Structure 1
Amino acid sequence: MTTPQGELLPATRRALLHRIAVAQAEGRAPSLVAAVVRDGRAVWHGSRTSGEGRAPDANTQYRVGSITKTFTAVLVMRLRDEGLFGLDDPLEKYLPGTGAGEATIAQLLAHTGGLAAESPAPWWERTPGSLRPELSDVLGEQPLLHPVGRRHHYSNPGYTLLGALVEEVRGTSWEQALRREVLEPLGLNRTGVRPEAPHASGWAVHPWADVLLPEPVEDLGRMAPAGQLWSTTGDLARFASFLVRGDERVLSTETLREMRTPAAPAEAADVMSGDAYGLGMQVQRRHGRLLVGHTGSLPGFLATVTISVEDDAAAVVLANCTSGPLVSTVAADLVRIVADAEPRIPAPWTPLRQADPSVVLELAGQWYWGTYAFALRFTSDGLASLEPLSGNGRRSRFRPNGDGSWTGLEGYYAGELLKVVRKDDGRVDHVDLGSFVFTRQPYEEGAEVPGGVDPEGWRGIE
């Protein structure tokens, strides 16, 4: 059976519908909507509702809670890319006197700034933001609970500070900057700080009886950069695609890759569960897949955006209940269903586009670090990859620097420099990778191997 390009097979669509139907029924959610993204566009949308009348669709707004943090992080990274500050700059340099100024911008993005998880009472999610008009009202008398940079401790006030940083550097409100620099360029016209019809109402579902209680809708004021936004599955599907592919009007793919890279030291429980945190993005390993995105919750609403970059698939799940379906698990399952049932078809192989292949051919092939065997390959995307031939060990891709050297992109060799060292006659002597010498033969005679090579060479047992 074939389907139009990009469309899902009927069996896949039914499996997706079954998963959200189970989630809505067992989670006792008044409504639940979901979308699946593949190859950069939404290819499926589904919803379940307990109410009569019009069912929610891709245009129905829900409150998305802490997914707002990823939007705020995108704004902050835009300012960094413009050179207005560095991620290692302390907050004090731009917002003096907060009591949390020792934390760097990167630490605030990664929740390693040592700040408290919540603002002082009363509970900010269920009270008007007008109760906390100043940063001091959000941070309290003792903003720091932990040594700065030592541990990951999720902090909502930390993102209030990042929103204030945006306002200070841009000279406009966080809301205005977000709309002008992110929402409008990406065409997210149904995403904003206030609900616009059609939108879902937020409900609390009694834990022991099938009855409902309406949740209040509060303007979060200063806390808005941590959780204010309303959005739709349609808009969040486009946002998920952007978080993988980038958009030069907003952020580059390189910066988004940086945001998806774990940036926080993991707690012991996180190591066991496979959870980590990047710069405004959660990183998880589920069922053998690396997933990135963010969850969100506010009284009356649950939300998640979950992305598998390797599978080029993403899922958005929104529900209008305070507690109920585990939306992050549902979204991970939606990604798994699509990726397993209809695996991504890779792009056709193409040769390296280079006028003189001899430049790479003299480096391609087998190399040895001591007695460890590696393969150095050059691919049509312009990158090089170093892989252990045993299957186990350090590996990385490298990008060319234009001067004959290469910089590592991941793993142990991330940021490390790979350089070609030549003999006086121009022939390659060895490759230097962060002081490690790779030679064509194990401990090659005549090569500049640290410590030298025994002149009697290799031998058997005497």
Structure 2
Amino acid sequence: MTTPPELLPATRRALQYRIAVAQSEGRAPSLVAAVARDGKLVWTGSRTSVDGHGPDENVQYRIGSITKTFTAVLVLRLRDEGLLGLGDPLEKYLPGTGAGEVTIAELLAHTGGLAAETPGEWWERSPATLRPTLADVLGEQPFRHPVGRRHHYSNPGYTLLGSLVETVRGVTWEEALRGEILEPLGLSRTSVQPQAPHAGGWAVHPYADVLLPEPSEDLGLMAPAGQLWSTTRDLAVFAAFLVVGDDRVLSAESVREMRTPAAPTLPGDWEESYGLGMQVLRRDGRTLAGHTGSLPGFVAGLWLSEEDGLVAVTLVNCTSGVPAATVAADLLKIVAETEPRTPAPWRPLPEVDPAVLELAGPWYWGTQIVALRLAADAGVELGPVAGGGRRSRFRPNGDGTWTGLDGYYAGEVLQAVRRQDGSVSHLDLGSFVFTREPYGADAPVPGGVDPEGWRGLPQ
């Protein structure tokens, strides 16, 4: 990986201006931000109300619900190791919770129908000793909606996932987090408890420029939903991992799955969805994935754009006033639009299987023309020759077939069906037959092809 070039002075000034406006208008004690491109920090900045002092990329802030993405990575690791299935009901691993019918995938995507918050006192500002057991976290009526029917954000749901990790792993959530994510990725400034230097959390009076310190409670069982402290540098590294994966932690395929919408959207929310531990949205013509976070005294935003190779993070130490997620998205947009990603040089494929090359070119599904193109790593792409329509990428399975990665054909198997003499008869994709000619006469088109073939309209 080559080192990204330094951002232009005008871009750096635009980034600094954006956070200056956010800190001033939001009346934040301090704000720190960072942008990374292709896994490398290219800009950091901060604004503060204290003269002569400014936090840098190594100062900790509380990141709130961005913690959930870390917890989701731990769960996906268990799935990839074959220790659980995402379709498994919680009851299989944590019996007796009263919410056992919910599947692990539904908990990850907030579609389990569970309540948004715990019963009793505001859990973010009260001692964890008030909720010593899962029964205290869930209450007597844990559900608010039918299971699996809608997206309803649930903090108790991620408490259940943290307890699931502990049960299956046989270690605490914190130990699993440290050994399986923080240490492999080098996130030395991410921790369950604050480590100096760190910011203090503040509330700013809505109608007066005065401050009130916010308490910093240990969340106990709720920790997997929002406990962590981190820095912009560590979060930029973590977000870069969420783009490309790291086989020491989670594969590229699994982090792509995390970024894929898994929750139904509601009317008016077509541009926003939720994957497996990650928020997904469309903004300014690009797809962003990441997470927002807040706890009393802190707000946070982290977004990544795979197509731009960009990550942006904003951390603020006030309860409200600064839309940290919006600021992070704006920072990403500034870099993406003022300094677009330079395309990698075109290079021919290092080697080509003649049997695969034979499949390249136009195919017909009925009368609709599509093209099969060869991609890197022995993959292929299938989509319209021009205009809109179904388009998917496919990865090779090693047996002459491919599995769809995205789009309409995600998960479907593509294969070339050959005649006895070895020549290609057609492509088969999820029962669809693609032929070299529209309704090829010698292909097994379902319903058959009229033996008289194509004809004009009789006069």
Give the drift of 1:244: 1.1
Whole-angstrom distance in 2 between the partners of 1:53 and 1:260:
40
Task: Please report the TM-score for the alignment, with normalisation by the length of structure 1.
Answer: 0.97
Structure 1 residue 394 corresponds to structure 2 residue 393? no
Contact 1:275-1:282 within 8 A present in 2 as well: yes
Asked if the contact 2:87/2:104 (under 8 Å) is kept, the reply is yes
Question: Hey, what does 1:63 align to over in structure 2?
Answer: 62
1:457 to 444, 450, 453: 453
Q: Does 1:366 align with 2:362?
A: yes
- Using the size of structure 2 for normalisation, the TM-score is 0.97
Q: Does 1:253 align with 2:249?
A: no
SS at match of 1:429: strand
Distance in 1 between residues matched to 2:376 and 2:134, nearest whole Å: 50
Helix, strand or coil: the match of 1:321? coil
Identify which of 421, 440, 458 aligns with 1:444: 440
Correspondence list, 1:14-413, <5 A: 14-271=13-270, 274-354=271-351, 357-413=353-409
Letter in 2 for 1:292: A
Secondary structure (helix, strand or coil) at the match of 2:378 reads: coil
How far the C-alpha of 1:5 sits from its partner, in A, is: 4.7
Does the residue aligned with 1:336 lie in a helix, a strand or coil? Answer: helix
Q: Residues 62 and 199 of structure 1 are in contact (CA less than 8 Å); yes or no, is this contact kept in structure 2?
A: yes
CA deviation profile, 1:274-325 (whole Å, cap 9, x unmatched): 0010000000100001000000000110001110011000100000111011
Output the CA distance in 2 between the equivalents of 1:5 and 1:402.
35
Q: SS of 1:394's equivalent? A: coil
- SS of the equivalent of 1:133 reads coil
Provide the alpha-carbon RMSD of the alignment. 1.2
Residue deviations 1:370-425 (CA, integer Å, cap 9, x gap) = 01010110023321011112411111011111111111111110111111112222
Alignment deviations for residues 246-274 of structure 1 (CA, whole Å, 9 cap, x no partner): 22211111111111111111122321xx0
Following superposition, the deviation at residue 28 of structure 1 comes to 1.1
Quick check: 1:351–1:380 contact (8 Å CA) kept in 2?
no
Q: Distance in 2 between matches of 1:366 and 1:177?
A: 50
SS in 1 for 2:369: strand
- Give the partner amino acid of 2:302: V
Distance across 2 between alignment mates of 1:189 and 1:90 = 35
Q: Give the CA deviation at 1:350.
A: 2.1
In the alignment, structure 1 segments of 5+ residues that lack a partner are none
Q: Is this contact kept in 2: 1:294–1:305, CA < 8 A?
A: yes
Is 1:429 paired with 2:428? no
Displaced runs of 4+ in structure 1, greater than 6 A?
none
Fraction of identical pairs, as percent: 72
Q: 1:34 touches 1:47 (CA, 8 Å); kept in 2?
A: yes
Cα distance in 1 for residues equivalent to 2:244 and 2:283:
22
Distance 1:428 1:293 in 2: 44
Do the aligned partners of 2:4 and 2:37 also contact (CA within 8 Å) in 1? no
How far residue 52 of structure 1 moved from its aligned partner, in angstroms, is 3.1
CA distance, structure 2, for counterparts of residue 357 and residue 137 of structure 1? 60
Bigger shift: residues 104-113 or 384-393: 384-393
Contact 1:373 1:390 in 2 (8 A): no
2:268 maps to a residue whose letter is A
Paired AA for residue 259 in structure 1: M
Question: What is the CA distance between 1:352 and its match in structure 2?
Answer: 2.1
| Cα distance in 2, alignment partners of residues 175 and 407 from structure 1 | 36
Counterpart of 2:19, as a letter, is I
* CA spacing shift, 1:5–1:235, aligned 2, 3 Å: closer
Q: What is the alpha-carbon distance in structure 2 between the residues aligned to residue 5 and residue 312 of structure 1?
A: 10
Rate the CA distance shift 1:380–1:15 in 2: closer, same or farther, 3 A.
Answer: same
CA gap 1:5/1:306 in 2 versus in 1, 3 angstroms? closer
Answer with 249-258 or 274-283: which moved more. 249-258
CA distance in 2, matches of 1:401, 1:248: 19
Tell me the amino acid that sits aligned with residue 369 of structure 1: W
Is the 1:397–1:410 contact (alpha carbons within 8 Å) kept by the matching residues of 2?
yes
- Partner-residue secondary structure (3-state), 1:66: helix
Letter in 2 for 1:397: R
Give the counterpart letter for 2:266 in structure 1: E
CA distance in 1, matches of 2:174, 2:232: 21
Code of the residue aligned with 1:198 in structure 2: it is P
Q: Deviations over 1:41-90 (max 9, x none)?
A: 11100000012342111111110000000011111111111111111111
Amino acid paired to 1:447: A
Structure 1 contact 6–38 (Cα < 8 Å) conserved: no
Task: Give, in whole Å, the separation in 2 of the partners of 1:231 and 1:48.
Answer: 18
Q: Which amino acid aligns with 2:449?
A: V
| Shift in alpha-carbon separation, 1:25–1:96, aligned structure 2, 3 A | same
